[in-house]
Amino acid sequence: MNLAPTDAKWVYDWTDPTMPAGWNELEVAAAGSVVVLIHDALQPDPPVFDYDKEAIERVKIRKQEKALKKKREEAEAAAAAAGTTSPPP
């Protein structure tokens, strides 16, 4: 569907969720969601976002973050047990 800029703005402003100021992307996990591609002078042919691939990448990142957090907590616990105030690097 092609819309005039003023009509596209109305549709954009009418839909949920509301995009925070300064953001250009928001991930919403909802079945049946509609993807809207905004074409403009800077992005005349925007790429279609691969949501499935992104979901897999986010799972990997969360696992890495969890492992790093566990490692940090173990280092802090070891430092506390040894009586030092900061964990080793």
Residue 88 lies in a domain: no
Residue 88 binned pLDDT confidence (cut-offs 50, 70, 90):
low
The whole-number average pLDDT for the span 40-45 is 80
pLDDT of residue 16: 75
Asked whether the predicted pLDDT for residue 65 surpasses 90, the reply is yes
Examine residue 89 and state whether it is found in any structural domain, yes or no: no
Amino acid at 85: T
DSSP state of 21: T
Instruction: Identify the pLDDT of residue 70.
Output: 96
Tell me whether residue 31 is in a domain: yes
Asked if residue 87 belongs to a domain, the reply is no
**pLDDT, mean of residues 25-29:** 69
**pTM score:** 0.43
Rg (CA), the chain: 22
List helix spans (H) across 1-89.
Answer: 5-14, 51-82
Domain extent at residue 68? 5-82
Residue 63 inside a domain? The answer is yes
Asked whether residue 52 is domain-assigned, the answer is yes
Arithmetic mean of pLDDT, 54-64: 90
In a domain, 56, yes or no: yes
Number of domains in the chain: 1
